[in-house]
Structure 1
Amino acid sequence: MFTAHTIASAPSESRPAMERVTEGFGRLPDAVARLAESPELLNGFLEMSAAFERTTLEPVARETVIMTVAVRNDCHICVAMHTGKLRKLGADGEVVAALREQRAVPDERLEAVRQFTLAVLATAGGVAEQDLAAFLAQGYSERNALEVVLGIGTYTMSTLANRLTRAA
């Protein structure tokens, strides 16, 4: 199926990104090794992911978007990796479990992020006014709403590519 590249076997345009990821993780994740077949996809995902990390959404809210997309798209590697990231961020265990099980999160603000993410996905962005109002009522902004869209786009690309390549 898809090749799990090493830095030496990857297309030359993928190698710098692979080296950076390896330095950051201490190893080359299988997903990166497989996505390296397409330098455009690998580099595009990493650039979009970095942009999402720079948004004004707080880290656990960003991870809520990511986990909502990852669980919805059945990307096991993404769920595992972002479960670890949530735990590193100090997220409550019940929040992590709820996200993994696609059920309501016991934190109102994070549940608003989860619900808004699902509404954007279900309506292809044509979110009902009351859904946007519910998100904004939790102290989020219009900027945050657009940042959720960035997260959805970034992690839809990642989850679909990871499933296609059978990344483990």
Structure 2
Amino acid sequence: MMIREAVAQDWDAVWPFFHQIVAAGETYTYPRDLDEERARSMWMLQPPSRTVVAVDEASGAVLGTAKMNPNHMGGASHIASASFMVDPAHAGRGVGRALGEYVLGWARAEGYRAMQFNAVVESNTRAVALWKSLGFEIVGTLPEGYLHPTLGYVGLHIMYQRLQADRP
């Protein structure tokens, strides 16, 4: 697997699984009926933010994607954030872990002091376990912060990792 900067042409491969994941309504706080144009503008970020894709080196298939960006502005611009989507057809192959490691490396190289995930759905246990294994901790949970389509109201975790870097 190779992780590289996303180019405009990658969207055609990302959109089908992006749409599937968002429409399921189980893991993202995006509207379930998010249209393609709005989704593209939200995901395909411009510098200094960044969007990448994980690609199968043999077939060229896009396996997953991540976007990374400052989480806040002004006096809190030293905190990074990121979002991830893995094509469900390629789940369990280490794509999410590889993207997570890549994003953490990017944030450190860019000088961010920490990374914060604002809304990790509590019932998304695979993601919560992955982020914990990569050094994140849950610093708070908003009870009943997310309306899951089958589980009802579940919590939204705020997850954090200090990166030990200085950024002016």
What's the TM-score, normalizing by structure 2?
0.27
Indicate the structure (1 or 2) with the bigger Cα radius of gyration. 1
Compare the two structures and name the one with the higher strand fraction: 2
What's the TM-score, normalizing by structure 1?
0.27
Compare the two structures and name the one with the higher helix fraction: 1
Higher relative contact order (CA 8 A, sep 6+): 1
